[in-house]
Every structure is written in structure tokens, then in C-alpha cells.
Amino acid sequence: MDSEFSDGEGFGIEVIIDAKDGKAPCCPHGPTLLFEKLCGGGETQGRRFYACSACRDRKDCSFFQWEDEKVSQARLLAREKENQSKQPPYSHQEYCSRFREFVSLPLDQRRFCQDCQLLLLPNEWSEHATHRALGDDITVARLRRPSLLLCPLENKKSNAQYLFADRSCHFLLDLLASLGFSKVLCVGTPRSSSVHLTSRLHELMKIRNQETGKEVLRSLLLDIDFRYAQFYSQKEFCHYNMFNHHFFNPEGAEAVFKAFLSEEGPEKVVMVTDPPFGGLVKPLAHSFSRISNTWKTLQGPESSSKEMPIVWIFPYFFESRILECFPSFSMLDYQVDYDNHPLYKHGKTGRRQSPVRLFTNLCPRNVVLPESEGYRFCSVCERYVSSGNRHCPVCDACTSKDGREWRHCAPCNKCVKPSWLHCSACGRCALPDHPCGRGQTGCFTCSSLGHKRRACPHSGKLRENRGQAAGRRPGANLSKQIASRVAVRKGKPSRTSKAHKVT
């Protein structure tokens, strides 16, 4: 799992959500995102630039373009050619045809190329003769669990995948079914070191339906990992980038997407998403809002005031950023665990409690957490909480975020982690060995300690200064500066790292 969680604020990099859709240039991962590099003191440094929405390293996608850069026709043609060359080798329809032919083969003639991550037909064996091939026991049952067959995209030679526990997956499926949902929109994006929860939810729903003989829950998987097209039909999977709300086959995929969101009779749709933990919250929230708006439009005028039910799986320390984008959301105490992670594992073998939580606009009192796993109902807060989350009479809330029992600090007038102590010099609670006097960074824009950059009253002035600073055009080598600062923070030399944390 990624150890760094950032939205780019530490580097003074801000993502700009541009309302003018279609303006951004495209890389192989669809429309790029617009960024701006800021510096402290209310001034701007450098210009706005476009960069890939889906890759965090320049070596994975080297796209970089200034917002005001004039691009020649020759370069545009070359870029378009490169974008096309990096698309999947087969169309979704061709993948489906290949899968039908593959499952009709005898078991001893089924091969899966681990280097190319491709189901092989007999006439293709010679082309992959020097590759690592998996040919043992590729049964239909195994093909129903592609998340266990596929390797991480960014490191195909690594086997260190951290898989979300089936326990957590089955809990979510039982919960959604009990709440009356019949369709689950699974929105996911893979990371280098783990298979995400939504792909496992998707496959477990299919397996349940096949085992019970009835379709209790139906799902549609939206994912940037095109390899899933090998295993799922066009009505079960859409090649999609959640960071820019981009469908790679808009004609067919968007029609499937809209048909799935349409509710008829007792059908109810819920969206479940687990973005990469290094992803930028702002573009993710923008994409999820667009999905919700599409759902509203399809339901008709009577649903104009409603919100699409959403379950967002993310670490608890992103709570303030998520609630800033979705004020109606609340964070539940349920800890999403992993089967084979050395730290975040359920039970006594795990050395640390998982930081992954559920953020949702579902009514918290209706989300029943399992008593067998230590959760209980707080009648005052009217929601289920972990056993260590005790109700604070001063705050009038169950305040713990990490599963431990927090304590109330009178000078701070809030509950804090049990390992923190109040520091009179800093005027706040912190770890006993904290760097005294240097714990509060305040606003990155104006250096005030009274607020953060998101609430800075000078943000409008900063935008105006940008136009004046553009005449000086400083930071001509901004892309190198950004890469250098990211490399320094990671503690290794690199000229290719991206400043924004997306996957």
C-alpha cells in the first residue's frame, strides 16, 4: 500500500477543475487535468499546466503541456498517434469473442501469459514462447476470479498484492442487499500494489448469483484496467477513468452506463468506489458528482432533490477533504481489512488497525455493523461505532477516528488521540516528541496560522496576481522543479516523478 498520502498541497500544486469540458488536451488516459504551482505569500510562481490524470510517474505517462502553450499540427498528429498506440490491442467485442473460444478449449490447452497479462489461444503460443506462461488448472471457477489472476499493472513481476479481505466484501454485499439495493455500480482504479475492492465485489456478486441461481445483486464495473474486458461482457464492464470521468469507448460504454443507472420499479442503484489512496480528492469528487447528476437526470424531476446513494472507501484521515466536497456524507467506523497485508489485517495477527473506512450518504443508523467484530450501537449518536470509540459527554459525540479510545483535552476543547499530550508552548495537543513550535504550518498562500489554504480569503487575489505574474513567465523549467521536489520528498533521485499523487 502506498505510504504517502497527499493532494499536492505540500508542493504548492493545486488541481484546477475546469468547467469548460473538452478543452483539456488528451494523453493515452483521456483528457488531462489542469494544475497550477503556487508559492507562499500570495504570489504565483510559474504557469498552469496540463498533466496526466491517471499516472503518478512521468515514466508511466510523460504528458506535460503548459496551458497557454501553442502546439504545432505536427506535434498534435504525433501525440494522437502515440495515444492510439497505447490503447488495448483488442476491442471489447474482440476480447469477448476470444474468451468464448478460450473457455471452449480443453483444460490442458489453456494458457495465460503473465508477461502480457493475456489469455492465449493455441495459435498464439509461439509468439509468447519466451514469456512466462501460466498453464496449470485455469478452470472456469478460476476465470471467475480475475482479480486473483491479474498482476499489478505497474509491477507485473511482483507478487506482493494486498487483497481486500473477502470478509469485508461479503459484509458490504450483505449490507447493500439488506438496504434494498439491487444494482451496484462498482467504480475502481488499480494501484501498483493491490487489487481494489470494487473488482472483488463485482466478481463475488456474479459468483453469488451463479451459486444461488437468482440475481439478487447485479453489478457494472467501471475501471481503467482494460484487462477486465477479457473476462466480462460489454454489459458488465466499461473501460473508464475515474479521475476525469472519461469512457474510452463513449458510444457503447456510456449507453451501458446510463442504462444501468436507470431505475425501474423496485430496482435501486448504489455506487461503491475505492480510489487509490494517493488520488486527488477534488477531481474524484467532481467525477462522482457527474455520475450522481447523470443518475438524477435519468430518474426524472421527482428525484431532482435526491442524492445518488454512494459508498466511498478511503482512509479516515481524508475525512475533512471528502466532507468538504460532499457535506451530506458521514464516516462510518467499519474498518476495511486486507487478507495478506502484514499490518492491516483483521484479528490478532495484524499489527495495526486498518485506516480504511466507509464514507457514505446512507443514513448511519441504517448501516448495521457486525457485533461479532466488536461494533455496537450508540443511542446518542444514532450510529454503530467500534468498541473503543467511547461517547464523549463534552463533545457529545463518539469522537475516535482510528478505533482507539480518544480522550478529551480541555484546553483544546476537543478529543485527541491517546498518545498525544497538550503542549503549552504550541497551544495544542501533539506527540510528546513533536518539533515544538513548528507543528502548525497554517495557510500555504498567505502564511496565516488561522486557516488553511482552502479557506484563504486571499485566494481571489492570488488568481488576479497570476495574470500579472504571467508576463514574467518564471519557472520555465517547472516540470523539472516539480519532479525534483517529489524526488527529494521520497528520498531518492528521480527526474520523472509527478508532483500530483494520482494512480
Q: Which H or E element spans position 17?
A: none
pLDDT score, position 452: 64
State percent of the chain over pLDDT 70. Answer: 74
Q: Extract the runs of DSSP E, i.e. beta strands, from 353-418.
A: 356-360, 375-378, 383-386, 391-392, 397-398, 407-409, 414-416
Residue 261 has pLDDT above 90, yes or no: yes
pLDDT score, position 23: 84
Mean pLDDT within 388-401: 94
CA–CA distance from 104 to each of 107, 110, 139, 177 (Å)? 9, 9, 11, 34
Query: Can you read off the three cell numbers belonging to residue 121?
Result: 489461444
Residue 325 has pLDDT above 60, yes or no: yes
Taking alpha carbons only, the member of 387, 388, 415, 420 closest to residue 404 is: 388
pLDDT score, position 267: 86
* pLDDT bucket at 469, cuts 50 / 70 / 90: very low
* pLDDT bucket at 130, cuts 50 / 70 / 90: very high
pLDDT score, position 134: 82
Give, in degrees to the nearest 5, the angle at Cα 260 between 255 and 264. Answer: 120
pLDDT score, position 191: 46
Taking alpha carbons only, the member of 344, 346, 360, 356 closest to residue 314 is: 356
Q: With beta carbons less than 8 A apart as the criterion, state whether 185 and 295 touch.
A: no
Residue that the C-alpha cell 463513449 belongs to: 250
* pLDDT bucket at 480, cuts 50 / 70 / 90: very low
Residue 194 has pLDDT above 70, yes or no: no
pLDDT score, position 21: 60
Residue 484 has pLDDT above 70, yes or no: no
Mean pLDDT within 403-429: 93
State percent of the chain over pLDDT 90. Answer: 51
pLDDT score, position 496: 36
Residue 483 has pLDDT above 60, yes or no: no
Q: With beta carbons less than 8 A apart as the criterion, state whether 26 and 32 touch.
A: yes
Q: With beta carbons less than 8 A apart as the criterion, state whether 15 and 500 touch.
A: yes
* pLDDT bucket at 479, cuts 50 / 70 / 90: very low
The average confidence (pLDDT) of the chain is: 80
Mean pLDDT within 274-303: 89
Q: With beta carbons less than 8 A apart as the criterion, state whether 76 and 68 touch.
A: no
Mean pLDDT within 308-329: 95
Query: Can you read off the three cell numbers belonging to residue 55?
Result: 499516472
* pLDDT bucket at 502, cuts 50 / 70 / 90: very low
Cα(190)–Cα(188) distance, rounded to whole angstroms?
A: 7
pTM: 0.82
pLDDT score, position 281: 93
Q: With beta carbons less than 8 A apart as the criterion, state whether 189 and 503 touch.
A: yes
Cα(466)–Cα(473) distance, rounded to whole angstroms?
A: 10
DSSP annotation of 462: H
pLDDT score, position 41: 53
Residue 251 has pLDDT above 90, yes or no: no
